[in-house]
Amino acid sequence: MENHGFTAHIGFLYPGHAAEDDYPRLARMVRPAADIRVVHTDFAEDAHTVEALTEMGSPSRLLKGAAQLRDSGIEAVLWTSTSASFVRGLDGIREQIDTLEKALQVPASTTAMAFARAVTAINARRVTIAATYPADVAVLFRDFLEHFDIEVVRLASHGIATAAEAGTLNKEVVLQFARENNHPDADALLIPDTALHSAGWLEELETVAGKPVLTANQVSFWEGLRLCGKLTPQQGLGTLFATEL
């Protein structure tokens, strides 16, 4: 019988609709199964541009979404957009986290911060980035990681204009994406778009890459469990989940 007292209760703020079904899938895959709430936040424009992403991750947008999680029993909350956190820089991310923690009185984080912590957790120092974003946005993710002494040995940007488009990419395309954007000197491969499906293919992604692969929805869920204090080693979810902190 599962230990229901150890069940994690996590809220995810997710902009729009693309690959949000990764979260209930991950909730079923972990043991014990997690109890989650996914709230879709609004934005002015679905576009991988610095301007649109900055607006998407504004405190006012986050507060509006957070209002739907009040009194929901969550133990932690994640802003699950990598790009709409790192484009705001470290100060902007701190503002996002502070906004959510004050509004909901639970620990908060963002997908960008989850990536930085996950890279450290698997003891990776050199990484390659396979980004769906245009080049000017992808560069900002590299700059963000370098604040944590994470060396980016290759940065690939694929110029996908919207989250909706990224969400339509199927398994074979995502596996090929990982295969083509690997680098022999990298300790891990990072795929940073929460609009890209990955939850069902984590082990296959690592087989293709021949190394740990961190994806946006994977690290977001891992970070939620960590914030709840309910992170235990798991199989079938890639190197990150199998690693004991």
Domains of the chain in sequence order: 4-113+217-232 (3.40.50.12500), 115-215 (3.40.50.12500)
Spatial separation of the C-alpha atoms in residues 7 and 223, rounded to whole Å: 15
- Kindly give, in sequence order, each residue whose CB lies less than 8 Å from that of residue 67, ignoring residues fewer than 6 positions away: 103
Spatial separation of the C-alpha atoms in residues 99 and 90, rounded to whole Å: 14
Write the pLDDT tens digit of every residue in 24-35.
999 999 999 999
Among the listed residues 167, 166, 240, the one whose alpha carbon sits nearest the alpha carbon of residue 206? 240
Residue 98's CB is within 10 A of a number of other CB atoms, namely 12
Write the pLDDT tens digit of every residue in 103-154.
999 999 999 999 999 999 999 999 999 988 888 999 999 999 999 999 999 9
Write down the pLDDT at residue 87.
95
Write down the pLDDT at residue 66.
97
Q: Which two tokens stand for residue 179?
A: 């295969």
Write the pLDDT tens digit of every residue in 87-110.
999 999 999 999 999 999 999 999
Among the listed residues 33, 1, 6, the one whose alpha carbon sits nearest the alpha carbon of residue 221? 33
Residue 60's CB is within 10 A of a number of other CB atoms, namely 9
Write down the pLDDT at residue 1.
27
